[in-house]
């Protein structure tokens, strides 16, 4: 860019001047009108004075895309600036996936981060740091009326994205041996790697999660889902999300982007797959629904609890009766839950040649089987299922308890009452 573009030089200079005015005024607001420090602040934020100090302090910080500090806060090794678009592309998600759109991080002395805030300012679609790295002549002229001084400051700011010294690791940094040859028994077949934290990629992930969880569009999409309405935006959920805090109460000591996230670093769940059987399957190849029902966790636990309670020969009083009644009611509730699940299946499953259930149980479980029946026939099927339930409970208690007809009649009576109550609620 030619130095003859005076208008562009003035525009860049105004961007810098506005930044300094804003920072100065923010500090002046905190001082009393008669405070002598006000004159010191005015002198400190004269552009030539502040920029000269900034050009000196910029060496205390470094622009990076891959940082060491998050690995261990006391590690003193190298951090790197690698443009994501220049990294080799792979099928896996990585920093290369960011392309040209990414946030540069800054590490080093937190007291010098104001210099980076200046260099993040943009003009003409490019940041001042981009202009400095490209050796933009108009930026150099905007920094100082002295061409030599402007060029010197430009180079100082451009060095922000340049690695400092030779790459090095540290005892607090993580290291791992990576097999690159064919023989794991040969030491020469390994490279020693020092992994760095992909801070620019982590920040992009954080921004995406914040948008999916808290943006107005995301809230509207969730509201539409709740109301069973269509919405242009998909709803994204992140189950088992963990938040790792870096930097404690001083996240700025880790990096600039870590400070912007208040130290929050999102960790997606990394879990082995969990086998999930089909939630609802018809009880085929069984001559009673109580074979499948008896394998349900709640039914099995309640049956065992009832047996253990009665096995201890509790006293024959109201408290014992209420305790027994409670266990049986919970068994009936689980039976009704099982019926409700089977009623969600496509009607007509009981007509399959693999269905061996008694007719009454088919009528109770399959709406299609009961569709053409009278109300009396349906009630009769419910009566039969209540009796089948009572026999099943007796079978769970018979060994070693001497249960018989009185217990059967009591279980059946409770089942009838619960079935009737459910029918009234459904009507």
pLDDT per residue over 48-97, tens digit each?
999 999 999 998 888 889 999 899 888 888 888 888 888 888 888 899 98
Question: What mean pLDDT comes out for the span 282-295?
Answer: 93
Q: What is the pLDDT of residue 285?
A: 93
Cα distances (angstroms) measured from residue 380 to each of 13, 62, 235, 356, 406: 91, 82, 47, 19, 22
Q: What is the pLDDT of residue 76?
A: 85
Q: What is the pLDDT of residue 265?
A: 92
Q: What is the pLDDT of residue 371?
A: 54
pLDDT higher than 50, residue 2: no
Q: What is the pLDDT of residue 16?
A: 94
Tens of pLDDT along 209-229?
Answer: 999 999 999 999 999 998 888
Tens of pLDDT along 327-352?
Answer: 999 999 999 999 999 988 888 898 88
Burial grade of 288 (CB within 10 A; 0-12, 13-18, 19 or more): middle
User: Residues 313, 319, 325, CA angle at the centre, nearest 5°?
Assistant: 85
pLDDT higher than 50, residue 249: yes
Mean pLDDT of the chain, nearest integer: 88
**How many CB atoms within 10 Å of residue 334?**
19
Length of the chain: 427
Q: What is the pLDDT of residue 102?
A: 86
Tens of pLDDT along 117-143?
Answer: 999 888 888 889 889 988 889 999 999
Instruction: Note whether 24 and 45 are within 8 A (CB).
Output: yes
Separation CA 396–CA 105 (nearest Å) = 67
Instruction: Note whether 418 and 333 are within 8 A (CB).
Output: yes
Q: pLDDT confidence of 370, banded at 50, 70, 90?
A: low
pLDDT higher than 50, residue 1: no
Q: pLDDT confidence of 375, banded at 50, 70, 90?
A: low
Q: What is the pLDDT of residue 326?
A: 94
Q: What is the pLDDT of residue 130?
A: 86
Q: What is the pLDDT of residue 165?
A: 74
């Amino acid at each position: 860019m030619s130095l003859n573009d005076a208008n562009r030089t003035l525009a860049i200079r105004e961007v810098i001047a506005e930044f300094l005015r804003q920072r100065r005024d923010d500090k002046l607001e905190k001082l009393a009108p008669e405070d002598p420090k006000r004159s010191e602040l005015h002198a400190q934020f004269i552009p030539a004075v502040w920029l000269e100090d900034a050009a000196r302090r910029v060496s205390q910080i470094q622009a990076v895309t891959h940082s060491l500090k998050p690995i261990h806060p006391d590690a003193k090794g190298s951090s790197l600036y690698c443009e994501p678009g220049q990294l080799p592309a792979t099928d896996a998600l990585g920093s290369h996936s960011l392309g040209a759109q990414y946030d540069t991080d800054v590490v080093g002395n937190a007291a010098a981060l104001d210099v980076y805030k200046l260099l993040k300012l943009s003009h003409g679609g490019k940041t001042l740091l981009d202009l400095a790295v490209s050796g933009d002549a108009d930026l150099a002229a905007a920094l100082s009326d002295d061409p030599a001084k402007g060029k010197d400051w430009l180079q100082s700011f451009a060095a922000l994205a340049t690695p400092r010294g030779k790459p090095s690791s540290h005892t607090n940094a993580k290291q791992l041996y990576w097999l690159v040859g064919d023989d794991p028994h040969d030491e020469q077949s390994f490279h020693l790697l020092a992994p760095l934290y992909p801070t620019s990629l982590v920040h992009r992930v954080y921004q995406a999660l914040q948008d999916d969880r808290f943006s107005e569009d995301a809230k509207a999409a969730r509201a539409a889902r709740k109301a069973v309405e269509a919405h242009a935006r998909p709803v994204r959920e992140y189950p088992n999300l963990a938040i790792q805090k870096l930097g404690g109460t001083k996240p700025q000591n880790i990096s600039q982007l870590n400070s912007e996230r208040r130290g929050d670093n999102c960790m997606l769940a990394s879990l082995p797959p969990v086998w999930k059987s089909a939630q609802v399957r018809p009880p085929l190849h069984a001559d009673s629904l109580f074979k499948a029902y008896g394998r349900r966790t709640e039914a099995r636990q309640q049956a065992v609890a009832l047996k253990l309670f009665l096995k201890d020969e509790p006293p024959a009083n109201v408290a014992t009766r209420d305790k027994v009644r409670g266990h049986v009611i919970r068994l009936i509730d689980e039976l009704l839950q099982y019926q409700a699940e089977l009623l969600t299946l496509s009607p007509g499953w009981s007509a399959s040649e693999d269905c061996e259930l008694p007719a009454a149980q088919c009528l109770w479980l399959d709406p299609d089987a009961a569709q053409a029946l009278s109300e009396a026939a349906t009630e009769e099927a419910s009566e039969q299922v209540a009796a089948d339930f009572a026999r099943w409970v007796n079978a769970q208690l018979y060994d070693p308890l001497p249960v018989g007809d009185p217990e059967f009649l009591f279980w059946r009576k409770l089942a009838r009452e619960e079935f009737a109550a459910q029918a009234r609620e459904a009507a």
